[in-house]
Amino acid sequence: LYRDARECLTLLSQRLGSQKFFFGDSPASLDAFVFSRLAPLLKAKLPNGKLQQHLKSLQNLCNYCTSILSLYFPWDGGEMHPQPHAAPLGAPRVGGAEGGDTEEDPHKRRNQLLSVLVGLAAMLGYAFLSGIVSIQRGAVGPAGRQPIALEEEEEEE
């Protein structure tokens, strides 16, 4: 399987050549399909990196993925291509990921708070609409007088 996959990547690299997309200057459905297979292979951390290393050795396919990411996914495009000079090809990576994994999403807390508030609003709305919780309005006046007035009415009956 690895041999067939390596051969497929090599053939894709040869077909792409120095073009921006497989059929010229504009993307086609083949570009979407190929990108959907190459980008995860290039970016994901894999237990066996043989195929990933072969893909990284095909510079035009790496540039192809980076180009598509920066064109259609500008918020993520800069992180696609790992630092090529950090370690020579074939050398094992030591120490895990760099940069992107240690940085936290800047809006993570806001998104968590919004999720909790939306969930709370949905539950309260359901409770009110289903009748589980209802609001009863009492007579306007000091709180101390109302129970006394009720007791007086009961005594009169």
- Ordered by start, the domain boundaries in the chain are 1-73
Q: What are 21's strand-pairing partners?
A: 24
| 79 Cβ contact partners less than 8 Å away, ≥ 6 residues apart | 99, 100
- Give residue for tokens 């309260």: 124
pLDDT in tens, 104-141: 677 888 888 889 999 989 998 888 888 888 888 876 65
Alpha-carbon span 101 to 98, nearest angstrom: 7
Q: Which of 7, 1, 21, 16 is nearest to 54 (CA)?
A: 7
Instruction: Answer yes or no: are the C-beta atoms of 12 and 2 closer than 8 Å.
Output: no
Which pair of tokens denotes residue 43? Answer: 């970016």
pTM, entire model: 0.47
Close Cβ partners of 22 (under 8 Å, ≥ 6 residues apart): 15, 16, 28, 30, 31, 34
- Averaged pLDDT, groups of 10, the chain, 157 residues long: 92 92 89 92 87 92 91 66 42 45 70 89 88 78 52 51
Q: Give me 32's structure tokens.
A: 């979407």
